[in-house]
Structure 1
Amino acid sequence: MKQEVTAFINRHHLLEKNATVLVGVSGGPDSMALLHLLHSMREEWNLKLIAVMVDHQLRGEESQADLDYVRDICAKWDIVFVGTSIDVPAYKRQHQMGTQLAAREVRYQFFAEQMEYFQADYLALGHHGDDQVETMLMSFVRTADSSGFSGIPSKRRFASGAIIRPLLSVTKTITEAYCEKYGIIPRIDPSNHETVYTRNYFRKHVIPLLKEKNQKIHTTVQYLSESLQSDEDFLQTEANKVLEDIVDLDIENKTASLKINQYKSHPLALQRRVFHLILKYLYDELPKDLSYVHEAHLFTLIGSEKSNARMDFPSQLKVEKSYGNLSFYFLHQHPLHSPFHEVLSIPGELELPDGSSIKASLTDVAYREEKHIYCCDVEQVALPLHIRTRKPGDRMRWKGLNGSKKLKDIFIDEKIPLRERNKWPIMVDNNNEILWLIGIKKGQPATQGKPTEYIQIEYKEAIM
């Protein structure tokens, strides 16, 4: 085993001489074989070894006995040992998660702390080739995302250094034979045989069937994993470039937007990954009910002929298509605006719910034609003036228009996004005649005579 593992270490540059290496140990055959193997390399590679172990308090005295066993072995082999006991059942209840996930979280938190404390270069873990096969098969059953098929990496960044997995090149049978050869009597966790856990089911019932057809299935799968990882690394790098180039991302407000034509100009493989990157930025934690179905619906939405449409994602995330743009936002952070209706005093100033403002004044200065200024003769309109949001059936008329036009159609013509329309300010007179669809269209009341005094309305957008 040592020769095969050493070749794997060298081929993947997993380890350097003169390094400080933490070894995650459980007392089982895999981690004990790894600890002994690195111990046998210690002098040649000038390694500083520290064994680290977590008792998850899931098996009472038995798990404490595992900790004592590893401590005694480390004393015998002259290896520094750091162990701890953590109440995983309490952590599980507090954070409302499954046992396996809770145990993993506390274990890796402890490992990270020790990496920082010892300023270690590596954390070596005992995952072997059968673990890799199990992981790949579980991914096949659980996910439709190709990026999830890259398996367990042989090396990845972690805390102050990197996690390495030198045993991915060998099977569990080989690690057990190694232990027997060197007189190591490992501790066996009974839960490893309980098929209620998905991984154990694959281990006991599926992997043996595959090995009947290919005894070297772990080697085949490891090569596949490495190929997929290198492909995925490249695609993720390119996807991040696309994300930076075309996506307007606001992490603080949890929003993202992009132009659909720009998005669709990139290969589908990058479109998919950019979509998943957006989700990772927006969600604090990806919801469990987020699936490939949502991705399929997104691409249906993008490809549809509808100019305006919206779909719901888990945890109140909304994805909205509006006139060539795609927006992501959370409803609880960007709620739909309630209708408002205020009377505008003349002179006077009114602040609107979105932070914009409207100021009214009387003037004898002639009419100024500006986008955010409306001016009319005092005698032309029925006072007082009102500022409100749209209502069903709202119509507007202006000079040169034959009849009137629905506000809904004006919004469509101006390509105003759906979620903007319900909060858009409208100025009407006391007869409910729309005088100004602010910033878009100005009505033209009939002139009553020679102007003597003007009302000037100035709209100021909210300062972001």
Structure 2
Amino acid sequence: MRLDKLPFEVFNTINKYHLVKPHDSIIVAVSGGPDSVALLKILRTINLVKNLHLRLFIAHLNHQLRGSSSEEDAQFVRNLSKDLSLPFILKKVNIQKIADQTKCSIEETARRERYNFFLESAQEYTASTIAIGHTADDNIETFLHRIIRGAGTVGLGGIPVKRPLATGSTIQLIRPLLFSWRREIIEYLGNEHSSYRTDATNYEPLYLRNKIRLELIPLLENQYNPNIKHLLMQLCQILNVNNEYLASKAKKIVKDSTIEERKDLYTVNTRFLANQPKILQYLVLREILMSMQIPLKEITYEHYAKILDEITRKGKGRHFQLPGKFYLWHEHGMLHFTKDPLYKPCMPLSEIAVQIPGTTPVYPLGQLISEILDIQDFSLEAYKKTKTTYEEVFDLERITMPISVRGRKDGDTISPLGIHGHKKLKDLFIDKKIPVKERDATPIIVMNDHPIWVIGVCMDNGVKVTLRTKKVLKLTFMRNRKTGQVCTDCTKHT
């Protein structure tokens, strides 16, 4: 048995782009319209002729937007599943109600609910793939829609033939009909004597996409170029090739410029980033936002331009907020991205007496451990080789008890080890390039209300260990893995 023309072309697309593998479980999204019905029948035919042993599931989401017509669509797809002896998955969602509650458009709400349904179905039936019936016509409509709405070069690449269902997901979304034209699909269904449902709203110029399909594309074909759809499709493919190359370069720059990467925080070296071509700077930001699962639809060109302008400016650190409660701050050649509020109110560190020897909680940052050691049992040279920035030793005889731990105060000074004279902590933080957000979260050990150790930064000359030291006070600060964030109220002290 041989494949007919359209199924053969779709099979070639599947092979070229590695859309499915033998024995895959595939959720086929079927609305009842011609594209989805053709997709289902073509996949079923390919499966039988090529003996791929695919497990196909028919999934239908009833949007409840067209009254009895929506119910009839669902029943049509149910009957189709029976005719083809394939499992049927149905879900009803009141799109209008959800759109009203979330204040989103009908189109955006329907799209979001569809993809949620696909994910639920794939997880329930252990499917690796979601197949959708987007065609070449859909790709052209999307291309023009994005031009009108103001997309960048990445968006103008059109609809991808294959992509993860969500960022980081192993479930693949595939579009086997993406290079097939709707007229070919209608012709195929006619030859197969296959019926399908027609949504009357598709022929009403109520939405922008409908206007593009019904008015703009015919205008371009009739008055400018009858081959315009094919040329636009070719342009999409060229842009996709360009985008793939640029994306690979951007990923390498992300890797090379990344200083820190966590679930809720991303930091890049902006001195390195600013030396890259502008288009790659833009794509690097996009890669980072995608990796942090930020909705890119809410990020405009003006947002990208503002960030890229920011990283070239010198002077005091700056911060700003993007849509979706996403925050950035830039200082000392580093750009930090986070989804946690950077600037929520925070309490200054309260002054707490240090338990010597013993453990002193330093809420909410961590705890301070103090020990008293005899100099005979302590090797300063060995200690220097292994010490971290969060531990320090002092000459116990030079310490006047009690000592305390607190946050910084205006006017605090210290005589840094190895330097003559005193230095304001404010200037010390600037010289050491301590980020503004960390300054009020830096614990300070004080004696008679005078700093003797800015933890993680420096200690005071007056309490250092010398050749005459007999007993050593060792302090170790154990920082909690997750500490509070800083706020604008805190940064106003800088």
Normalization by structure 1: what TM-score?
Answer: 0.78
* Cα shift at 1:217: 1.9
Aligned to 2:207: 197
Counterpart of 1:459 in structure 2: which amino acid? T
Counterpart of 1:233 in structure 2: which amino acid? E
SS at match of 1:257: strand
Report matched runs for 1:365-444 at 5 Å: 372-376=391-395, 378=397, 383-397=401-415, 404-430=422-448, 432-444=449-461
Aligned to 1:150: 157
Contact 1:25–1:51 (CA under 8 A) maintained in structure 2: yes
Contact 1:310–1:319 (CA under 8 A) maintained in structure 2: yes
Contact 1:336–1:419 (CA under 8 A) maintained in structure 2: no
Between stretches 368-377 and 79-88, larger displacement belongs to 368-377
What do residues 199-222 of structure 1 show as CA deviations (whole Å, max 9, x unaligned)? 113223322222221222221121
Report matched runs for 1:335-374 at 5 Å: 337-340=346-349, 341-347=351-357, 349-353=359-363, 354-359=365-370, 361=372, 372-374=391-393
Contact 1:169–1:219 (CA under 8 A) maintained in structure 2: no
Distance between the aligned counterparts of 2:359 and 2:137, measured in 1? Answer: 73
SS at match of 2:335: strand
* Cα shift at 1:295: 1.6
Counterpart of 1:410 in structure 2: which amino acid? L
Matched, 1:27 2:27: no
Distance between the aligned counterparts of 2:339 and 2:172, measured in 1? Answer: 36
Matched, 1:86 2:86: no
Matched, 1:243 2:254: yes
Aligned to 2:232: 221
Contact 2:394–2:463 (CA under 8 A) maintained in structure 1: no
Distance between the aligned counterparts of 1:115 and 1:314, measured in 2? Answer: 30
Q: Name structure 1 gaps, 5 residues minimum.
A: none
Contact 1:5–1:167 (CA under 8 A) maintained in structure 2: no
Counterpart of 1:413 in structure 2: which amino acid? D
Contact 2:135–2:179 (CA under 8 A) maintained in structure 1: yes
* Cα shift at 1:151: 0.9
Distance between the aligned counterparts of 1:422 and 1:442, measured in 2? Answer: 17
What do residues 133-167 of structure 1 show as CA deviations (whole Å, max 9, x unaligned)? 11011222334432122112334566777623326
Contact 2:14–2:176 (CA under 8 A) maintained in structure 1: no
Contact 2:130–2:171 (CA under 8 A) maintained in structure 1: no
Say if 1:93 and 1:122 are closer, same or farther in 2 by CA, change over 3 A. Answer: closer
Contact 2:281–2:308 (CA under 8 A) maintained in structure 1: no
Q: Name structure 2 gaps, 5 residues minimum.
A: 482-494
Between stretches 133-142 and 232-241, larger displacement belongs to 232-241
Between stretches 118-127 and 260-269, larger displacement belongs to 118-127
Between stretches 63-72 and 221-230, larger displacement belongs to 63-72
Contact 2:290–2:296 (CA under 8 A) maintained in structure 1: no
Aligned to 2:221: 211
SS at match of 1:166: coil
What do residues 286-323 of structure 1 show as CA deviations (whole Å, max 9, x unaligned)? 27533222221221121112263333333443323332
Distance between the aligned counterparts of 2:463 and 2:82, measured in 1? Answer: 98
Aligned to 1:289: 298
Counterpart of 1:320 in structure 2: which amino acid? W
Once superposed, what is the RMSD of the aligned Cα atoms?
4.4
Distance between the aligned counterparts of 2:114 and 2:410, measured in 1? Answer: 59
Report matched runs for 1:89-168 at 5 Å: 89=95, 92=98, 96=102, 98-108=105-115, 125-156=132-163, 163-166=174-177, 168=179
Distance between the aligned counterparts of 1:286 and 1:244, measured in 2? Answer: 22
Between stretches 297-306 and 39-48, larger displacement belongs to 39-48
Aligned to 1:263: 273
Say if 1:410 and 1:373 are closer, same or farther in 2 by CA, change over 3 A. Answer: same
Matched, 1:305 2:324: no
SS at match of 2:298: coil
Aligned to 1:187: 197
Counterpart of 2:15 in structure 1: which amino acid? H
Aligned to 1:10: 12
Q: 1:234 aligns with which of 220, 234, 245?
A: 245
Aligned to 1:324: 333
Matched, 1:274 2:284: yes
Distance between the aligned counterparts of 1:275 and 1:23, measured in 2? Answer: 34
Aligned to 1:460: 477
Distance between the aligned counterparts of 2:119 and 2:356, measured in 1? Answer: 65
Distance between the aligned counterparts of 1:277 and 1:17, measured in 2? Answer: 29
Report matched runs for 1:12-91 at 5 Å: 13=15, 24-32=29-37, 52-70=59-77, 80=86, 82=88, 84-89=90-95
* Cα shift at 1:105: 4.6
Normalization by structure 2: what TM-score?
Answer: 0.74
Between stretches 206-215 and 317-326, larger displacement belongs to 317-326
Between stretches 144-153 and 95-104, larger displacement belongs to 95-104
Counterpart of 1:234 in structure 2: which amino acid? Y
What do residues 13-61 of structure 1 show as CA deviations (whole Å, max 9, x unaligned)? 3689988877543333434455566778787656877765443333232
What do residues 95-147 of structure 1 show as CA deviations (whole Å, max 9, x unaligned)? 94544344445545555677788888976543333211110112223344321
* Cα shift at 1:269: 3.5
Say if 1:444 and 1:239 are closer, same or farther in 2 by CA, change over 3 A. Answer: closer
Distance between the aligned counterparts of 1:243 and 1:93, measured in 2? Answer: 37
Distance between the aligned counterparts of 2:323 and 2:221, measured in 1? Answer: 40
Counterpart of 1:226 in structure 2: which amino acid? Q
Distance between the aligned counterparts of 1:419 and 1:127, measured in 2? Answer: 47
Q: Alignment identity in percent?
A: 28
* Cα shift at 1:359: 2.1
